[in-house]
Amino acid sequence: MTELQHRPTALLVMEERRRDDVYPEAVLKEIGTLVDLREPLTRERLAEDPSALVGVEILLSGWGAPVLDSVLLGHAPDLCAVLVAAGSVRPLTTPEFWARELPIVSAAAANAVPVAEFTLAQVLLGLKQVHRISREIRERKAYPPDPRVAGAYRSRVGLLGLGEIGALVASHLRGFDVEVLASDPVVDAATAESLGVRLVGLDELFATCPVVSLHAPLLPETEGLVNGELVARMGIGATLINTARGAVVDEPSVIPVLTERPDLTAILDVTWPEPPEPDSPLYTLPNVVLTPHLAGALGAERARMGELVAAELRRFVLGEPLRYAVAPDRAHLRA
């Protein structure tokens, strides 16, 4: 192992309630071999005393990261890198931060793993129309004699978005005998082909795929992108899965379609607002399955993000290239 010539000073700032999950003892021990780690703080404590950043060379974070504005950065003249055990870096970065040209690491690749696993499970259930058939059995108190479902044999699966998570879902689906279609305006045909995916327009995606899974970031151009008109084009018994951002779905126009089309199923791990308002039809529509961000990293799964940060930290202090640094021109695409 290469001997460290300098042990940087590091500070961990994130919310307390998930800190031990993200940075368990084994991960902190690994980090402690690389840096001099100060006592952790929360974003609120740091706001009360921003001078705690004086002398800090590496900022570690996760959920509840501090917003790196001119005030905090003014107290961090020695800051050399920021490593975030979470998916998006948008909540903490500012123009002042990017002007410093500091490397920032995202653990989106680690958080993508459980989301892609959850999605894969729901895609396979959707191709069998498990949720639809289950509720019909409950309503009729009888089994259907010969259910007609797409199944995972030469059926189409649609992905809206081929970012970190969408690409991983596509990779998982390569192990099945299905055709994967995707819609993503920032991905070229060659990249899609390398993922085993064919790019199509939104209309074709929704009209021809028995299962459509959403993985688009929330941007001005994607807000409300999935509307009632698109969902109404889905075939009989189709399934819509959203593990991305709730506001990508235009709920006011989609809810009437789900009401009129009990054959459709919507798996909503995210909504907008979140949670839905108490009187929202999403709670009572039988063809809507609501889950509270179950797709994302929970419990022990969160340690995967801390492990990624620890590995990147080792690369940084040894002067090796970072694997998960976020380019400034790509930061806005991380939801």
Query: Considering the domain boundaries, does residue 1 fall inside one?
Result: no
**One domain, residues 206 and 327:** no
**94 and 142, same structural domain?**
no
Tell me how many domains the chain contains. 2
Same domain, 94 and 176: no
| Distance from C-alpha of 31 to C-alpha of 6, rounded to nearest angstrom | 14
Q: Which of 293, 320, 323, 330 is catalytic?
A: 293
Q: Which of 18, 156, 215, 245 is catalytic?
A: 245
Q: What domain range is 237 assigned to?
A: 111-290
Q: How far is CA 131 from CA 155, 159, 184, in A?
A: 18, 20, 28
Number of other CB atoms surrounding residue 170 within 10 Å: 22
320 is known as an active-site residue: no
* Nearest CA-CA partner of 208 in 226, 234, 178: 234
User: pLDDT digits over 25-54, tens only?
Assistant: 999 999 999 999 999 999 999 999 999 999
- Tell me if residue 135 is catalytic: no
Contacts of 50 (CB under 8 A, 6+ apart): 71, 72, 74, 75
Question: What's the CATH number where 226 sits?
Answer: 3.40.50.720
Residue tagged active-site, from 44, 260, 274, 320: 274
Name the DSSP class of 34. Answer: T
The answer, yes or no, to whether residue 317 has pLDDT greater than 60, is yes
Catalytic status, residue 131: no
User: Has residue 136 been placed in a domain?
Assistant: yes
| pLDDT tens digits, 224-262 | 999 999 999 999 999 999 999 999 999 999 999 999 999
Residue 198 resides in a domain: yes
Q: Are residues 240 and 142 in the same domain?
A: yes
Q: Are residues 175 and 127 in the same domain?
A: yes
When mean pLDDT is compared across 5-19, 175-189, 319-333, the lowest value belongs to 319-333
